[in-house]
Amino acid sequence: MQSKMENMSPPLYELWEILKKNRLAIAGLTTLLIFFLVAILGLFLTSGKNPIYDPAKVRLEAKLLPPMTVIHENTLNTLNEKDIPPFRIFLFGTDHLGRDVFSRMLQGAWVSLTVGFVAVGISVFIGIIIGGIAGYYGNKSISLDYLLLFIILICGLIIIYYKKWLGTFILLFFIVATSIKKLFKKNFFNFSILIDSIIMGIIDIMLCFPSFFLILTVVALLPPSIYNIMVVIGLTSWMGTARFIRAEFLSLREREFVLAAKAMGVSDLIIIFKHMLPNAITPVLVSATIGIARAILTEAGLSFLGFGVPPPHATWGNILSEGKYYLFDAPWLTLIPGTAILIVVLAFNLFGEGLRDALNPKSRD
């Protein structure tokens, strides 16, 4: 035990020691592990040509059955043998089309899980890159020429995706402008801006938008698909991470071990990825955990409003949405997905908060 403890990376070991004492966090973690298991199982059980639990099977003669309905010989004997779910039981009942809510919940779990992780993955990735640039290179300034060229390049690349001729034109303009600049070897605009100011400006502007409505607008314009939703949620929630990373990098940049590495002539990339990022990542981890919960909620909200994952694919949000018409006749249609969302989001939040407490140096003594 002793040797094992010594070989473990120090923060990880301490982290576990402290986290272990926080019962709520452990409860959250356990719930999350069960959720992951269910979601992964759900993916296998509900996909394929003949899934064991078929979330899309319509059984009109068995609609709006309450949970725990067992199929006997004398009830529902009109049901096709193929349509009967495993163990001959509708664990969570059926909806207005007679689809098995349990199967749909299983399918939805996987959606929630992937939306949460992919969206947060995208946002953390963007946040680390942008925050890292702001924090590490922030005190360098960029001349307006390069900035404009960069903007033209980005615009061209985006536009070429939608309108080929316009995009090509803009990119051509970019190439011409770059070569003119190379030729003259001087700046046309005698003005330069700190990289940090630019990035912080962009972050502040992004934060000004009410993000849910921004997402709504974007999703309304894009073709509805689960991947679009993940990307859009990711693209609109990276600002927090970027700020965390920037702040951490700003203080780490002046820390002696980073200076020492610089003084040894270690390259910037190694300094960033070996020395700075591992020391800056902890607050990001916490915010990412809570960010997953937020992404799951956002996806559920979008699906509820009908902008989310298109039917017939089930998500917890659209089960809830469809269930709202039968609130009094079939309350389980809203209660079950609602409770599931509540529990998962709560678990993520509890675990995230436990993680934050454990990482807080003040709680270590």
Partner 1 sequence: MKDTILELRGIKKYFPIQKGLLKRTVGYIKAVDHVDLFVKRNQIVGIVGESGCGKSTLARCILRLYEIDDGKIFFNGKDVTTLTKKELKSYRQKVQIVFQDPYSSLNPKLTIKSSLMDGVKQANVEKPKRIEKISELLELVGLPKDSMHKYPHQFSGGQRQRICIARALSLNPELIVCDEPVSALDVSVQAQIINLLMELKEKIGLSLIFITHDLNLVGYFCDYVYVMYMGKIVECAPTLDIFKNPHHPYTRLLLDSIPGKRKQRPDSVFINKQDSQLNTQCGFAPRCKYFSKKCENNLDLREIEKGHWVRCSLI
Binding footprint of partner 1 on the chain (CB under 8 A): 6-7, 9-11, 194, 197, 255-257, 259-266, 270, 274-275, 278-279
The least CB distance from residue 13 to partner 1, in Å, is 10
The least CB distance from residue 265 to partner 1, in Å, is 4
Tokens 């409505």 appear where? 213
Report the residue number, 271 or 320, with the smaller CB distance to partner 1. Answer: 271
DSSP string, 61-81: GGTTPPTTEE--SSSSTTS-G
Report the residue number, 95 or 196, with the smaller CB distance to partner 1. Answer: 196
Report the residue number, 223 or 265, with the smaller CB distance to partner 1. Answer: 265
Total residue length of the chain: 365
The least CB distance from residue 248 to partner 1, in Å, is 13
Q: How far is C-alpha 259 from the chain's CA centre?
A: 34
Report the residue number, 128 or 226, with the smaller CB distance to partner 1. Answer: 128
The least CB distance from residue 11 to partner 1, in Å, is 7
The least CB distance from residue 41 to partner 1, in Å, is 35
Q: Phi then psi for 167, rounded to 5 degrees?
A: -60, -45
- Sequence-distant (6+) residues with CB within 8 A of 5 are 13
Tokens 């360098």 appear where? 140
Report the residue number, 142 or 194, with the smaller CB distance to partner 1. Answer: 194
The least CB distance from residue 137 to partner 1, in Å, is 14
CA distance 104 to 125: 31
Q: Are 215 and 273 in contact (CB under 8 A)?
A: no
Going by C-alpha positions, the residue among 34, 108, 116 that lies closest to residue 317 is 108
Ordered alpha helix ranges (H), the chain:
2-7, 10-21, 23-46, 101-136, 144-162, 164-184, 195-208, 211-221, 226-235, 239-253, 256-263, 268-270, 277-305, 316-323, 332-359
Report the residue number, 196 or 299, with the smaller CB distance to partner 1. Answer: 196
Report the residue number, 61 or 204, with the smaller CB distance to partner 1. Answer: 204
50 to 55, 82, 94, 98, 270: CA distances (angstroms): 11, 10, 19, 18, 50
The least CB distance from residue 264 to partner 1, in Å, is 5
The least CB distance from residue 7 to partner 1, in Å, is 7
Look up residue 14 and give its two tokens: 């301490």
Report the residue number, 210 or 265, with the smaller CB distance to partner 1. Answer: 265
CA distance 132 to 249: 7
Report the residue number, 143 or 225, with the smaller CB distance to partner 1. Answer: 143
Look up residue 40 and give its two tokens: 């992964």
Please give the span between the terminal C-alpha atoms of the chain, in angstroms, as a whole number.
22
Report the residue number, 181 or 262, with the smaller CB distance to partner 1. Answer: 262
The least CB distance from residue 263 to partner 1, in Å, is 5
Taking the CB of residue 202, how many other CB atoms lie within 10 A of it? 14
DSSP string, 316-343: HHHHHHHHGGGTTT-THHHHHHHHHHHH
The least CB distance from residue 357 to partner 1, in Å, is 19
CA distance 294 to 312: 24
